[in-house]
Amino acid sequence: MIKYVFRRILQMIPVFIGVTVLLFILRAPGVLPGDPVRMITGERPISDALREQIIKKHALDQPLHKQYYIYVTNLLKGDLGESYQRRTSVVDIFADKFPNTLRLALAAIVIEIIVGIAAGIISAVRQYSFSDVFVTLSTSVLVSVPVFWLGMLLQIFFGIRLKEWTGGAVFLPMSQMSSSQFPDWVHLILPAITLASVSTAYVARIMRSQMLEAMGQDYIRTAEAKGLTRRAVIFRHALKNALIPVVTFVGIDFGVMMSGAILTETVFSWPGVGREIFLAVGQRDWPVVMGGVIIIVVIVMIINLLVDLSYAVLDPRIRYGGAQE
Amino acid sequence: MSPATRRAASALEIDEVAGSTTRTLWGDAFRRLRRNKLAIAGLVWITIVVVLTISADIWVPPLFGDPLTVRTAPGESLQAPSFTHPFGTDKLGRDVFSRVVYGARVSLTVGIIAVSISLVIGLILGALSGYYGGFIDALVMRSADVFFAFPYILFAIALIAVLGPSYRNVFIAIGILGWPSIARVFRSSILSVKENEYVDAARAMGASDLRIMFRHIMPNAVAPIIVYGTMSIGGAIITEAALSFLGMGVQPPTPSWGLMLSDAKSLMFRAPWLTIWPGFAILTTVLAFVLMGDGMRDALDVKMKD
Amino acid sequence: MAALLEVRDLATHFFTRDGVVKAVDGISFSLDPGKTLAVVGESGSGKSVTALSIMRLIQEPAGRIVDGEVYFKGDSVLAMNESQVRDLRGDRIAMIFQDPMTSLNPVFRVGRQIGESLMLHRHLSRKDAFERAIELLDMVGIPHPRDRARDYPHQFSGGMRQRAMIAMALACDPDILIADEPTTALDVTIQAQILELMSELQERTGTAIIMITHDLGIVADMADDVMVMYAGKQIEYGPADSVFYRSGHPYTWGLLDSLPRHDVDEKGTLLPITGQPPSLINVPSGCAFHPRCRYAREICPREVPASREVGEGHFAACHFAGQDGFVRGAAQAGGEVA
């Protein structure tokens, strides 16, 4: 097991190097238009002395591979550099935003697990029934909906229309800042539903096909022949087998939500990691972009490793490391 | 009979059998597809959108107004849907219906060109990787891993930031980002086809690598590619809309559905029609590609990891 | 004494897009306590569907028991409600399946799966059920049962898995054990061990066994009665000795001729039954076996043969069954039926 984890971490190194190199190529002089010093200082005039100082500080006079070496050395020490725009350390910026993203992602994951799994099970157990057709159709629609549009529709309905119809009595906050009369978690509802929408549809689809496959297996007949109730057969014998691929999807999805929430965060003005990186791209604030992407890539890699390891817990056939027979 | 000629003869026979099964495979698939009402609905909708879009120059401007003409006279902007403006007008007095129809041009063009770019890169790299294996395989697959490790939408944004936001760069960025999935799908098809004896037989007869690739491997690997490509068009349309929504895509005044939604954001309260129709257009078009992709997957019996 | 299990005119049909499949079409037999009935036939002859019908495990709405009666200790199984049937399953009538590789749930420990029916039917605690499972594993001859009970199915070999399946089936001391081709998926040497184990356990527990198989050979020593099925129909049924030595149906003769016989004639050739098993959607008219039967006459495609008694309690569904000279070996000897 430890050997397996070690091997997996070793495999991550080339991918990690690839990501950082690619990021460095993207910001290399000539690729990006403009003077790097100007990117840092903006349009205001600067003295030659200050210019020299900035070049020295950010090692802009060094060749690219040297800059890369300096960057990676600092990175390994936990230093992601300093924002060009705000003079604060990149680590601090994301330490500030990360809890927001995490909160939103966790809320979305909870929705996706509960709704997605329930819909998938109902759909599979009552194959070809009205509920099944409904679930199948609505999942197709959900994967086709642009999330930002869904967010806007939810805002129009729950934030504006509902308020009008109920004379201002019932509505949901449209963004984190829009109203402070609500407890914190209420602000999460609409963004979380928006962020969860597509994933919920995928979970429901995977769950449905996995349940159908599990329910066609011989061991289900064995369980029925034991005299178990249909409920026990479905929820004990089929579900545990069907859940394994769903866990993988949810795990990977959690990683995607770390960054893929840009659109949801934009629609709801949610101050998260994705939005921070997006804004930094617009400002050419490369230390923030690189630091943010690297943080996300590392988190995604760790999550993927955890997902693989959770296999061993869920599926006894998989044992990492030692050959066992 | 020498072993070589026997092998050659059997290869020819197998070749014929493979040919005929391919034909019936497509025939069966077509029949199954025709039975799938949802897939047919998707196909019909795509056809309608394509026809409306191609013919738009003839009927849209005279009936509803030019999608780009700004009318700022009092009462012209932000009109609610009416008979003359079925989807209302936007802040600059432009007809929303007209812009939605022309927006389909942008979406379909981006979808098709982006996926074509992904296909070209993905098929070449996937073929090299699957057919030759070894170092090339490792190189291609590890590069794909790097692409997968990147958060997708952020990668697209970063690429656009480097290339500069424009219509052309949007489909280049989406196209570049799409290759790893195609390469993986194609590579695994090749690996599974390569195991078959008739490929060995063809090689024994001295067929060239290219001939083996096109004559023997492609026909068997093409089904998953078609399914994947169809579904990817829907994905590319959504990505274009998302990038344009974020201001990293098609630039104003070109009518793009994502851009229209971006403009609608500050007017959600006053003019909800600006939000509803472009979004609805994205939803239905993408849904049509998804349903068709699903239908073809079932018809061609392609197994896909979700 | 009333029979333990009485099946009368059982018919189970499947309703598919291509037509109605009469998987089981008029089967009758009875089973006494402690006895063994062998149900023999090619794949697709309706053996397994018969077993699943007795357990009421036919998946509706695709399949349905359309006719007949099943009495267990005098009670009609087909008239029972769902919960009464569940009380029967795994408790009074247990079943083991063909492929032990896939019939055990891969994500649960073997001991837990064996104990499950004890928790259900005997209301044992999880711990007591597990302890009992260990005893059962010991009984079916699994070494170190206490350790092995904690293993998962994939850690067992094929033979061990089938032993575990038997332990699972016998957990509640059932009156009837239905074994659906229990040895088909196993190596030949393991097959013999499993059959021996079943006979031994039957002696000890007094369980009646319905042994479903395509191989007459493996039941020769075990069976008290034999039922031969063809295309969903019962074509011969009777005491094992009578069926083996005085069979009245050409299909059974074919099955017997295709057995390697070491006792009689070392050089004797094996005679396969020619032709393919019939499609269950387009069952041949009249006697379903007639296209493959070398004794077929003009009447055979026209009329469905009735079951005739050819010996005491021994029935064969052939137009010529019981006629003088219509005996096994007649054809090989060159003699045609007069």
- CB interface of B with A, residues 144-183, below 8 Å: 145-146, 149-154, 157-159, 161-162, 164
Q: What average pLDDT does range C11-16 have in this prediction?
A: 89
Q: Are C244 and C252 in contact (CB under 8 A)?
A: no
Domain membership of residue B117 (yes or no) is: yes
Give the least confident one: A247-256, B71-80, B103-112: B71-80
Scored b (16 or more CB within 10 A) or e, B253-272 reads ebbbbbbbbbbbbeebeebb
Paired tokens of C210? 């319905």
Q: What average pLDDT does range B42-59 have in this prediction?
A: 89
Q: Residue A315 — very low, low, confident or very high, per pLDDT cuts 50/70/90?
A: confident
The residues near A281 (Cβ < 8 Å, ≥ 6 apart) are A289, B157, B158, B161, B248
Paired tokens of A317? 């056939």
Q: Residue B174 — very low, low, confident or very high, per pLDDT cuts 50/70/90?
A: very high
Q: Which residue has the higher pLDDT, B206 or C269?
A: B206
Cβ neighbours of C56 in A, within 8 Å: none
The segment(s) of chain A belonging to CATH 1.10.3720.10 are 99-324
- Identity of the residue in C89, C106, C154 whose CB atom sits nearest the CB atom of A225: C89
- Identity of the residue in B146, B234, B242 whose CB atom sits nearest the CB atom of A263: B242
Domain membership of residue B305 (yes or no) is: no
Task: Report whether pLDDT(B292) > 60.
Answer: yes
Cβ neighbours of B161 in A, within 8 Å: 32, 281-282, 284
The residues near C194 (Cβ < 8 Å, ≥ 6 apart) are C159, C162, C163, C166, C182, C183, C186
Q: How many independent structural domains does chain B possess? A: 1
B264 touches chain A (CB under 8 A): yes
- One-letter amino acid for residue C110 of the chain: V
What 8-state DSSP symbol labels residue A127? T
Cβ neighbours of C108 in A, within 8 Å: 237, 240
Residue B194's domain is classified under what CATH number? Answer: 1.10.3720.10
- Identity of the residue in A140, A145, A202 whose CB atom sits nearest the CB atom of B291: A140
Integer Cα distance of A188 and A176 in angstroms: 8
C102 touches chain A (CB under 8 A): yes
- Identity of the residue in A31, A147, A266 whose CB atom sits nearest the CB atom of B162: A31
Question: If you measure CA to CA, which chain C residue comes closest to A237?
Answer: C105
Q: Residue C113 — very low, low, confident or very high, per pLDDT cuts 50/70/90?
A: very high
Rounded to the nearest integer, the mean pLDDT of chain A is 82
Cβ neighbours of B151 in A, within 8 Å: 256, 258-260, 274, 293, 296-297, 300
Please report the pLDDT score of residue B201 as a whole number. 78
Sign of CA dihedral A22, A23, A24, A26: positive
Distance in Å, alpha carbon of B257 to nearest chain A alpha carbon = 10
Integer Cα distance of C33 and C176 in angstroms: 8
CATH number of A99-324: 1.10.3720.10
The residues near A230 (Cβ < 8 Å, ≥ 6 apart) are none
What percent of chain A has a predicted confidence (pLDDT) above 70?
Answer: 87
- The answer to whether the CB atoms of B149 and A18 lie below 8 A apart is yes
- The answer to whether the CB atoms of A218 and C121 lie below 8 A apart is no
Which of A220, A222, A229, A241 has the most C C-beta neighbours within 10 Å, making it the best mutation to test the interface with C? A222
Cβ neighbours of A209 in B, within 8 Å: 306
Q: Which residue has the higher pLDDT, C209 or A187?
A: C209
Range of the domain at B232: 24-53+98-299
Give the least confident one: A30-34, A103-107, A257-261: A30-34
Give the least confident one: A106-110, A115-119, B17-21, B239-243: B17-21
Task: Report whether pLDDT(A58) > 80.
Answer: no
- Identity of the residue in A221, A227, A237 whose CB atom sits nearest the CB atom of C97: A221
- The answer to whether the CB atoms of B306 and A206 lie below 8 A apart is yes
C167 touches chain A (CB under 8 A): no
Integer Cα distance of B159 and C120 in angstroms: 61
Q: What are phi and psi of C24, to 5 degrees?
A: -130, 130
Nearest partner of C325 among C315, C317, C334, judged by Cα: C334
Token pair 């040497």 is at which residue?
C189
Q: H-helix or E-strand containing A76?
A: helix A64-76
Task: Report whether pLDDT(A319) > 90.
Answer: no
Q: Residue A24 — very low, low, confident or very high, per pLDDT cuts 50/70/90?
A: confident
3-state secondary structure string, B179-208? HHHHHHHHHHHHHHHHCCHHHHHHHHCCCC
Within chain B, strands assigned E span none
Chains that touch B (3 or more CB pairs under 8 A): A
Residue C315: beta bridge partners?
C237, C309
Q: Residue A115 — very low, low, confident or very high, per pLDDT cuts 50/70/90?
A: very high
Task: Report whether pLDDT(B14) > 50.
Answer: no
- Identity of the residue in A146, A293, A301 whose CB atom sits nearest the CB atom of B238: A146
Cβ neighbours of C116 in A, within 8 Å: 223, 226, 228
Paired tokens of C9? 């005119």
Nearest partner of C137 among C111, C106, C156, judged by Cα: C111
- The answer to whether the CB atoms of C106 and A218 lie below 8 A apart is no
Give the least confident one: A162-166, B281-285, B300-304, C108-112: B300-304
Cβ neighbours of A239 in C, within 8 Å: none
Distance in Å, alpha carbon of C297 to nearest chain A alpha carbon = 43
- Identity of the residue in B153, B161, B241 whose CB atom sits nearest the CB atom of A260: B153
- The answer to whether the CB atoms of A225 and C95 lie below 8 A apart is yes
DSSP three-state, residue A51:
helix
Cβ neighbours of A259 in B, within 8 Å: 151, 153-154
The pLDDT tens digits for A180-228 are 667 777 788 889 999 999 999 999 999 999 999 998 888 999 999 999 9
Q: What average pLDDT does range B55-61 have in this prediction?
A: 80
Establish whether the linkage from the previous residue to A99 is cis, with ω within 30° of 0.
Answer: no
Please report the pLDDT score of residue A113 as a whole number. 95
- Between chain A and chain C, the number of residue pairs with CB atoms below 8 A apart is 72
A49 touches chain C (CB under 8 A): no
Q: Residue B24 — very low, low, confident or very high, per pLDDT cuts 50/70/90?
A: low
- Report the C-alpha dihedral over residues B291, B295, B296, B301, rounded to 10 degrees: 140
B306 touches chain A (CB under 8 A): yes
- The answer to whether the CB atoms of B38 and A26 lie below 8 A apart is no
Q: What average pLDDT does range B45-67 have in this prediction?
A: 84
Q: Residue B3 — very low, low, confident or very high, per pLDDT cuts 50/70/90?
A: very low
Q: What average pLDDT does range C201-217 have in this prediction?
A: 89
Question: If you measure CA to CA, which chain B residue comes closest to A203?
Answer: B306
The pLDDT tens digits for A151-163 are 999 988 888 777 7
- One-letter amino acid for residue A57 of the chain: K
Task: Report whether pLDDT(A116) > 50.
Answer: yes
Q: Residue B10 — very low, low, confident or very high, per pLDDT cuts 50/70/90?
A: very low
Q: Residue C176 — very low, low, confident or very high, per pLDDT cuts 50/70/90?
A: very high
Give the least confident one: A311-315, B288-292, C11-15: A311-315
Q: Do B and A make contact, counting contact as 3+ CB pairs within 8 angstroms?
A: yes
- Identity of the residue in A227, A229, A237 whose CB atom sits nearest the CB atom of C91: A227
- The answer to whether the CB atoms of A31 and B261 lie below 8 A apart is no
Task: Report whether pLDDT(C71) > 60.
Answer: yes
What 8-state DSSP symbol labels residue B217? I
Scored b (16 or more CB within 10 A) or e, A269-287 reads ebbbbbbbbbbbbebbbbb
Nearest partner of B66 among B86, B94, B87, B92, judged by Cα: B94
Integer Cα distance of A244 and C305 in angstroms: 54
Token pair 């057995």 is at which residue?
C259
Q: What average pLDDT does range B78-91 have in this prediction?
A: 76
Q: Are B95 and B56 in contact (CB under 8 A)?
A: no
- The answer to whether the CB atoms of C116 and A229 lie below 8 A apart is no
Domain membership of residue B44 (yes or no) is: yes
Q: H-helix or E-strand containing A201?
A: helix A184-215
Distance in Å, alpha carbon of A14 to nearest chain C alpha carbon = 35
- The answer to whether the CB atoms of A152 and B264 lie below 8 A apart is yes
Cβ neighbours of A14 in B, within 8 Å: 142, 145
- Identity of the residue in A219, A227, A325 whose CB atom sits nearest the CB atom of C105: A219
Q: Residue A286 — very low, low, confident or very high, per pLDDT cuts 50/70/90?
A: confident
Rounded to the nearest integer, the mean pLDDT of chain B is 80
Q: What average pLDDT does range C292-307 have in this prediction?
A: 86
Please report the pLDDT score of residue B21 as a whole number. 47
- The answer to whether the CB atoms of B153 and A145 lie below 8 A apart is no
- One-letter amino acid for residue C214 of the chain: H
- Between chain A and chain B, the number of residue pairs with CB atoms below 8 A apart is 135
Q: Residue A32 — very low, low, confident or very high, per pLDDT cuts 50/70/90?
A: low
- The answer to whether the CB atoms of A221 and C103 lie below 8 A apart is yes
Integer Cα distance of C42 and C228 in angstroms: 9
Nearest partner of A246 among A158, A75, A116, A105, judged by Cα: A116
Please report the pLDDT score of residue B8 as a whole number. 35
The pLDDT tens digits for C85-98 are 999 999 999 999 88
Q: H-helix or E-strand containing C69?
A: strand C63-72
Domain membership of residue B72 (yes or no) is: no
Token pair 């934009």 is at which residue?
A266
Distance in Å, alpha carbon of A211 to nearest chain C alpha carbon = 14
What percent of chain C has a predicted confidence (pLDDT) above 70?
Answer: 93
- The answer to whether the CB atoms of A146 and B246 lie below 8 A apart is no
Q: Residue B15 — very low, low, confident or very high, per pLDDT cuts 50/70/90?
A: very low
B106 touches chain A (CB under 8 A): no
Residue B156: beta bridge partners?
none
ipTM comes to 0.85
- CB interface of A with C, residues 121-140, below 8 Å: none
Residue B203 CB burial class (10 angstroms; 0-12, 13-18, ≥19) = middle
Please report the pLDDT score of residue C268 as a whole number. 53
What 8-state DSSP symbol labels residue C72? E
A224 touches chain C (CB under 8 A): yes
Paired tokens of A13? 């190194």
Distance in Å, alpha carbon of A156 to nearest chain B alpha carbon = 7
Cβ neighbours of A221 in C, within 8 Å: 57, 97, 103
